[in-house]
A and B are shown apart, each in its own frame.
Chain A
Amino acid sequence: MTNEIIRLVGKKDLFIQGDEATVYGALLADCKFFAGYPITPATEVAEGMAIWMPKLGRVCVQMEDEIASIAAVIGASCTGVRAMTATSGPGFSLMQECIGYACMAETPCVIVNVQRGGPSTGQPTEAAQGDIMQTMWGTHGDHQIIALAPKSVQETLDLTIEAFNLSDDYRVPVVVLLDAELGHMREKVVLPEVKNIKVEEKIKSNIESDNFKPYRKHFKKSSKIPNFKHFGLGYKTYITGLTHDERGFPVTTSAEVHEDLVTRLIDKILDDIDNVWYYEDYLIDDAEIMVISYGITSRPAASAVKMAREKGIKVGHIRLITIWPFNYEKIKELLKNVHTVIVPEMNLGQMIHPIREVVGKDVKVILAPRIGGAIHSPKEIFKYIGEVKP
């Protein structure tokens, strides 16, 4: 796979944008279907897919809008192929109903959201991290999804591949959250060798087709992830957004069936959170102040932490790579010796809420907000660190 793609591309060292990195990530992850509607600053994803997918005998469709795009992706996924769409804030808003459908029907899919300034059409070409809460809570009802926030172009490629793996493993939509800065930023990227890419085989089943229940739990690794059989394999497979039983048939008035199903949709991920939750830490052992960041903001944050350390300030840095689910237990443990947490975000305060919740009243949590397009400067974050009083 990798070799075929490297042969097509002509080289494996590239100098490309974050948007393009999601394209190469998807190609390497064996994504067979892309449906999307172009929108700044995510257009380069659709553009790249339109160039490469047909060359590999795969499908790329420009749909009439974002609702149709995510619907087509869910449909393709039901036939057992890996499928992806890409958009920005306004399109992501339109996709919310179908993202809930994919959660409920447990259909794997990858959604790239290159965030721009909102609300509404806002600032098309400017970066923001305004969709953090929407990513988790944009669709209605209780549910759990997975969201990954890369900080560099190489990591965008690697995490796009990982998004496909997690989506298949947990049968849940996975959102790769970029922003206009990272989406349009160019860096050196090395296409990884095929052995580093886990393209999961579909789980084989020896259940007779008549007895097959697509939403039977405790099937895979005694977990709560069902062994769905995709369309076309000869199994009776029924999908719906309505509350359903193990056969997939609607049962909409039973509290027991609803509770059992919705709790399972959440627990199938949270029970296994340590295998889903990725983070990076830097100089945290003796830290009394902690900077918690994610995505592009982690880069000026890392510079600011280095500047503060040079001044002798005991500050550490935690970078959330998986931003949803939020690992309450682990983050609480990482923060047990600090008196102040600083949260730089390109919004007016979103990820700060679960952080405040996790530390309680004993730890001061300070927001370092920035909106309008430009990313934080290291000096700006350093100033927040310097002003902390123990």
Chain B
Amino acid sequence: MKTGIRISGFGGQGIVLSGVIVGKAAVLNGFNAVQTQSYGPEARGGSSRSEIVISDEEIDYPKVESASISIIMSQEAFSKYAPMTENQGIIIYDPELIPDKKIGGNFKLAELNATRIASELGTKIVANIVMLGGFCEICDIISKGSMKDSIKDSIPKMLDLNISAFESGMENIKKINW
């Protein structure tokens, strides 16, 4: 088993943190995991990307070529990384951030209004955690418990808000009809 996950968006959305949470959760679940990240020198804005390779064997190459799962949170990232998802792979994206959703290829598309859901919870900064809830629910790689433990370990402040965001993501993605 080897799964590549790519999370992409712009700087400030917590793209790298989301990658860390997934990687740490995978390790807590007993897998090997490598998380890498790529971003420009800006503190906010600019494109941001984080990749996680999860495997039950030793991981040589630490990067993701075609992702099994793409989590996408900006138009620029959608145009660039959605096509870099493997055939039949899952693309979870926030439709309100992506006006142009045209894409060829054979993918399972999962819309999740993460930014809106996060705003309704009080702050859009937890949109990334909403996305992780959606990811956990539909991908069935990492257990809910490990994801929550990882969130707790990675974000010591405002834990309740983040757990609510995570659960809202899980709940809302269930409405999708493939």
A186-B39 in contact (CB<8A): no
Q: Which residues of B contact A302 (CB under 8 A)?
A: 60
Question: Is the C-beta of B127 less than 8 angstroms from some C-beta in chain A?
Answer: no
Interface of A (DSSP majority class): mixed
In chain B, residues 39-91, which have Cβ atoms closer than 8 Å to a Cβ of chain A? 39-41, 60-63, 65
B63-A375 in contact (CB<8A): yes
Q: Which residues of B contact A374 (CB under 8 A)?
A: 63
A377-B20 in contact (CB<8A): no
Q: How many A-B contacts are there with CB distance less than 8 Å?
A: 53
User: How large, as a class, is the contact surface on chain B?
Assistant: 10 to 19
Q: Which residues of A contact B32 (CB under 8 A)?
A: 188
Report how far A15 CA is from B62 CA in the complex, Å.
Answer: 15
Interface of B (DSSP majority class): mixed
In chain B, residues 1-59, which have Cβ atoms closer than 8 Å to a Cβ of chain A? 20, 23-24, 27, 32-41
Q: Which residues of A contact B62 (CB under 8 A)?
A: 181, 185, 296, 299, 375
B51 to A, closest residue via Cβ = A185
B150 to A, closest residue via Cβ = A15
* Other-chain residue from B23, B60, B61, B65 in contact with A15 (beta carbon distance below 8 A): B23
* Other-chain residue from A184, A188, A299 in contact with B61 (beta carbon distance below 8 A): A299
User: How large, as a class, is the contact surface on chain A?
Assistant: 20 to 34
Report how far A185 CA is from B27 CA in the complex, Å.
Answer: 14
Report how far A187 CA is from B19 CA in the complex, Å.
Answer: 12
The answer to whether residues A184 and B37 also contact, given A299-B62, A303-B61 and a CB cut-off of 8 A, is: yes
A188 to B, closest residue via Cβ = B27
In chain A, residues 292-310, which have Cβ atoms closer than 8 Å to a Cβ of chain B? 296, 299-300, 302-303, 306
Q: Which residues of B contact A125 (CB under 8 A)?
A: 38-41
Q: Which residues of A contact B24 (CB under 8 A)?
A: 15, 186
Question: Which B residues fall within an 8 A CB radius of A?
Answer: 20, 23-24, 27, 32-41, 60-63, 65
Can you list 20 A-B contacts with CB-CB less than 8 angstroms, sorted by A residue number? A13-B27, A15-B35, A124-B41, A125-B40, A184-B36, A184-B37, A185-B37, A186-B34, A186-B35, A187-B33, A187-B35, A299-B62, A300-B61, A303-B60, A303-B61, A306-B60, A373-B38, A375-B63, A377-B61, A378-B60
Question: Which A residues fall within an 8 A CB radius of B?
Answer: 13, 15, 40, 124-125, 181, 184-188, 296, 299-300, 302-303, 306, 373-375, 377-378
